[in-house]
Chain A
Amino acid sequence: NAGVTQTPKFQVLKTGQSMTLQCAQDMNHEYMSWYRQDPGMGLRLIHYSVGAGITDQGEVPNGYNVSRSTTEDFPLRLLSAAPSQTSVYFCASWDGAFGNTEAFFGQGTRLTVV
């Protein structure tokens, strides 16, 4: 059972480059989210999705796009990378709208923008 899979694990980009962080889950979860985690800090919500075809913005959406064409996949696109986007990115999925359902996380993508 793979759970939540993120690729790549590490990435270095030059300022202005674009790229897509991949996230896939095999648990048939409706809810998926992207978070970023800066050193020594908690997770900040970038974008989230409550089902295929439905996405919305979180706390820090600027500079990122998402789409949800299938239940399984929720890619995060950086349009024009900036050094301020250097961070560790986590994708999470869970089943249901209630706050008492467990969120499952990928192992993260460590992104450095130079």
Chain B
Amino acid sequence: TQLLEQSPQFLSIQEGENLTVYCNSSSVFSSLQWYRQEPGEGPVLLVTVVTGGEVKKLKRLTFQFGDARKDSSLHITAAQPGDTGLYLCRLSDNFNKFYFGSGTKLNVKP
């Protein structure tokens, strides 16, 4: 069962462009996390969103949790090559299982 759908699957942009990636579920969840994974490494936590409608900013990254707590978005302003990586969302099904979405692979070209 795929609890989380991420889109787009791949994104290749030029440095300086803006982008948004999405994480959607058919279920309501209590919280959601975004991770970034660089080649050859494990994922690293970027942010956790908990409250419906919540917006969090991390430098050029803006994370939003949908009002109904079934979706989330990550917006990057003025992308840089250092933003290149695989962006993953993660949630719990409230039964001790933690799932990841399929990921968005971002490539920012200089």
Contact = CB atoms under 8 A, between A and B. Distances in A.
Interface of A: 4, 31, 33, 35, 40-45, 48, 50, 56, 58-59, 90, 92, 97-100, 102-103, 105-108
A42 B31 contact: no
Contacts of B80: none
Contact of A100 (B33, B86, B105): B33
B92 interface: yes
B29 A99 contact: yes
Interface residues of B, number: 31
Contact of A90 (B42, B50, B101): B42
B105 to A, nearest CB: 6
B98 A105 contact: no
Given A40-B105, A41-B103, A42-B6, A99 B42 contact: no
Contacts of A105: 41-44
Given A45-B97, A97-B96, 7 more contacts: A42-B6, A48-B96, A56-B97, A59-B99, A99-B91, A100-B30, A106-B42
B31 A35 contact: no
22 contacts: A4-B42, A40-B105, A41-B102, A42-B100, A42-B102, A44-B100, A48-B97, A56-B96, A56-B97, A58-B97, A98-B31, A98-B92, A99-B30, A99-B31, A99-B91, A99-B94, A100-B50, A103-B33, A105-B44, A106-B42, A107-B40, A108-B41
